[in-house]
Amino acid sequence: MTIERKPVAFGDLRSWMKALRAYGELREIEAEVDWNIELGTIMRLAQGSGTGPALLFNNIKGYNHSDSRCRRVFGGGLSSYRRIAMMLGLPPETHPRELVKIARNILDGGIAPKIVNTGPVKENIITGDDIDLYQFPTPYWNRLDGGRYLLTYGGVVTKDPQSGIMNVGIYRGMIASRNQIPILMWRAQHIGHHVTAWQQGGSPEMPIAIAIGWEPSLGFCGGSPVPKGMCEYDVMGSIRSKPVELVKCETVDLYVPATAEIVIEGYLGIDPSSYMMEGPFAEFTGYVAGDRSPKPTIRVTAITHRNDPILRGTIEGSLPGSFSENAVCSSIMRAATAWNVLDRAGVPGIIDVWCPPVHAGINLLISMKQSYRGQAKQAANAIWGSSAAHVRYKHITVVDDDIDIHDYAAVDWAIAYRVNAGEDDIVIMPSTFGAGLDPSTRRRDRNAALFGTGKWNRVLIDATMNLDYEPDPEFGGARFPPLVWPEQNDVEAAYARFAELGLERPKRG
């Protein structure tokens, strides 16, 4: 049963940090920390497997003077399921399985934003020659990065020139000069759809704004595959159960949260002659990826910010033992999106859907109650045929409803004993669209400039019991033999004697 939410409209990043402090989820670092490699290294080491705290760096080398434009960096706000639950207005201990179900509902709803005249983000307005991106304590996150990445968790706002519908996505951006930021964006992302539309209209530039530091739903929704035509601001409204208050930008016709910490406005050059060098960067795959190459570049026309603004950033790239915010949020949102895709396609019997947090939605797990042969293949076809499968769902494993897909051992056991490659349980869908950053794809085939997307050979692992087998009279008409696990009444009788025998029930996992 889905738990009832008590939605919270935090108001801004500061109130979210206050809530985190109250729950013991925030560590404030007062010791001086260097923006150059040290800050990023600390953030990566501190995050753990979804167990680390959110971090606020209050004393950054070179930016700790009273006249610094920006002195603080906040990150890790959503690198744990406890904090995602808090964002959604749920008890912190809510199981990720429930978070997926709630996320499905959030994606289905929407509360339109409200336009207001002004807000704290207009406390400081910088234009023209006064613009200097180096005034922000942008970390050099990793030693092998190509530069200082200012845009790691900002909501990048663009709009479709015909419908006027805005999109908010997260796209990485590196400082190239005082007022230029090349970014990485793929054609198949919604920002890419907008670029195509502006190009077709004959424009060499596209208006763009980046909101940095607001309520947690900004990063959560920006990094999620919210369906095309639906504005992420509506989904944020649905999370907080209140419209997001937006103000108009100073130099572009776009809208940003009125209480954002920092907003960068400008125009994205979409003519290749204006591209600047960007990359590489420590990427979501856990590899340093996204080779150094010319990329579409933002020409910054204004920066607005609150007094004493806080720079919101994140350390990207998940590895075993160190899960990024992207990976933890993706495990919820990409599972929820896939489940909605399966429902809309009419695939029956879906019990649970999950993306483990170590890989940001690359491996998708589905548990289903089969009622006919070929149901797992129907599920994989539905997922891979959806636009949500861009950069996601390379490998799909389908198991029966007796397997808990939140238990790695259970899934592994099902793969060991219910998969027979000679019986069509492994299906390869070759040469589909895919992630341009996945190093298991040859470098040539990752060239999005040549092919518009990466290249993935996708795999279905059908680890369900094969309904193509004959029912076996020896097994009472079942297709597989009985499990070694004792019958329930024998289990209860044995457990009843455990204390007498000096035994304890083993814990699972």
Ligand X SMILES: Cc1cc2nc3c(=O)[nH]c(=O)nc-3n(C[C@H](O)[C@H](O)[C@H](O)COP(=O)(O)O)c2cc1C
Residues engaged in binding ligand X (CB under 6 A): 152-153, 167, 169-172, 184-186, 189-191, 222-226, 314, 316, 326
Query: If phi over 0 gives left and psi between -120 and 50 gives alpha, with beta otherwise, what is residue 477?
Result: left
Burial (Cβ within 10 Å: 0-12, 13-18, ≥19) of residue 353? buried
Q: How far is the CB of 232 from ligand X (least distance, A)?
A: 7
Q: Which one, 10 or 141, has the nearer CB to ligand X?
A: 141
- Give the per-residue SS3 of 170-210: CCCEECCECCEEEECCCCCCHHHHHHHHHHHCCCCEEEEEE
Q: Which one, 184 or 254, has the nearer CB to ligand X?
A: 184
Q: Which one, 224 or 238, has the nearer CB to ligand X?
A: 224
For 64-76, b/e burial (b = at least 16 CB within 10 A) is: eeeeebbbbbbbb
Strands 72-75 and 310-312, by their bridges, are parallel
- Is omega for the bond preceding 481 within 30 degrees of 0, making it cis? no
Burial (Cβ within 10 Å: 0-12, 13-18, ≥19) of residue 201? exposed
Q: Which one, 119 or 154, has the nearer CB to ligand X?
A: 154
Burial (Cβ within 10 Å: 0-12, 13-18, ≥19) of residue 357? buried
Q: Which one, 151 or 365, has the nearer CB to ligand X?
A: 151
Q: Which one, 265 or 325, has the nearer CB to ligand X?
A: 325
Taking each helix axis as running N to C, give the angle between helix 96-108 and helix 232-240, from 0 to 180 degrees, rounded to the nearest 10.
120
Q: Which one, 179 or 314, has the nearer CB to ligand X?
A: 314
Q: Which one, 289 or 399, has the nearer CB to ligand X?
A: 289
Q: How far is the CB of 172 from ligand X (least distance, A)?
A: 3
Q: Give 355-418 as a DSSP string.
A: --TTTTTSEEEEEE---STTHHHHHHHHHHTSGGGTTS-SEEEEEETTS-TT-HHHHHHHHHHH
Q: How far is the CB of 347 from ligand X (least distance, A)?
A: 23
Q: How far is the CB of 147 from ligand X (least distance, A)?
A: 14
Q: How far is the CB of 237 from ligand X (least distance, A)?
A: 16
Q: How far is the CB of 50 from ligand X (least distance, A)?
A: 15
In single-letter form, the type of residue at position 351 comes to I
Q: What angle do CA 291, 183, 201 make, to 5 degrees?
A: 120
3-class DSSP state for residue 459?
strand
Q: How far is the CB of 13 from ligand X (least distance, A)?
A: 16
Q: Which one, 120 or 286, has the nearer CB to ligand X?
A: 286
Query: Tokens 């990024």 label which residue?
Result: 324
Q: How far is the CB of 413 from ligand X (least distance, A)?
A: 32
How far, in whole angstroms, is CA 73 from its chain's centroid? 20
Q: Which one, 106 or 376, has the nearer CB to ligand X?
A: 106
Burial (Cβ within 10 Å: 0-12, 13-18, ≥19) of residue 58? middle
In single-letter form, the type of residue at position 372 comes to Y
Q: How far is the CB of 419 from ligand X (least distance, A)?
A: 30
Q: How far is the CB of 154 from ligand X (least distance, A)?
A: 9
Q: Which one, 120 or 146, has the nearer CB to ligand X?
A: 146
Q: How far is the CB of 10 from ligand X (least distance, A)?
A: 19
Report the alpha-carbon distance of residue 79 to residue 48 in Å, rounded. 9
Q: Which one, 63 or 153, has the nearer CB to ligand X?
A: 153
Q: How far is the CB of 51 from ligand X (least distance, A)?
A: 19
Residue nearest to ligand X (CB): 223
Q: How many CA atoms lie within 13 A of 154 on its CB side?
A: 27
Q: Give 20-88 as a DSSP string.
A: HHHTT-EEEE-S-B-TBTHHHHHHHHHHTTTTPPEEEE--BTT--STT-S--EEEE-TTSSHHHHHHHT
